[in-house]
Amino acid sequence: MNTEGVDFLMPPDMALQAEAVGVNKARMSAMRTLVLAMLAGAFIALGSVFFTTVTAGSTLPPGITRMVGGVAFSLGLILVIIGGAELFTGNNLIIMAWANKKVSTAAVLRNWLLVFFGNMVGALGVAVLLFFSRQYLFAQGAVGQNMLNIARAKCQLQFGQAVALGILCNVLVCLAVWLCFSVRSSAGKILCIVFPITAFVTCGFEHSIANMYFIPAAIAVKDYGDPALFSLINATPQDYSMVTWSNFLLVNLLPVTLGNIIGGAGLVGMVYWFVYLRKSAG
């Protein structure tokens, strides 16, 4: 098929593009990688803030509420892709370049670790700003209540459940990134992002980087926030006793990150490598 002059790529060319991007990401300097990762963590956190605010106090059916919130959350990946930043979950696709022996295992792990750390710094930075902004008191405390309820649900997941939700989430995130390789325009990339991201949010799947904002922000509000919040929402900090640092790290972040890697690197990256790039492997 002749695609000359057509403003999109076919899947075999998308695979080559993904491989080339993976090589560039793996070879990027540590400082540049870290700064871009911090930006991505902040971008995803801003999408999370948007989600929390939009869904606060909603009286719509739960599925519709989450769908509207999912559209809002899409802001995060739009900023990452269009603005240019390094996101751990999307960078799972570097596995395609690794599988084709274009980058080493050490280079992949170096990138993932730097980006994961940078994403956490960026997400926590937004959480700190939101805490001092006292935005959690908006709408008569409905925003803060939503923050706390979201975090409580995330801190009560079973380990296997969290892994499975993480797998499903990053399948959709990496498919969004994969689809972006097919188009050149910003509008096309945004369309590629919105539907998969809205789907994962609506379905309640778990994203490790988003959770670096959701849960620490709720911990800050619960433990150090204005006590007036609990009067507004007729609750006490004890109602959210599960929202702790240990539950954030061990109950949520660990299994969700594992699931994100399996979903993104295994079920998207390796599958598309097998289909389109395997014959060119040495």
- The full set of domains in the chain, from first to last, is 11-280 (1.20.1080.10)
Using the predicted structure, report yes or no on whether residue 255 has a pLDDT greater than 90.
yes
Residues 135 and 147: their CA atoms lie apart, in Å, by 11
Cβ pair 183, 276 in contact under 8 A: no
Instruction: Return the pLDDT at 7.
Output: 64
Residues 196 and 147: their CA atoms lie apart, in Å, by 23
Residues 6 and 22: their CA atoms lie apart, in Å, by 24
pLDDT tens-digit readout, 199-233 = 999 999 999 999 999 999 999 999 999 999 999 99
Using the predicted structure, report yes or no on whether residue 243 has a pLDDT greater than 70.
yes
Using the predicted structure, report yes or no on whether residue 89 has a pLDDT greater than 70.
yes
Residues 17 and 97: their CA atoms lie apart, in Å, by 10
Q: How confident is the model at residue 8 (pLDDT cuts 50, 70, 90)?
A: confident
Instruction: Return the pLDDT at 6.
Output: 52
Residues 164 and 220: their CA atoms lie apart, in Å, by 28
pLDDT tens-digit readout, 159-172 = 999 999 999 999 99
Cβ pair 251, 166 in contact under 8 A: no
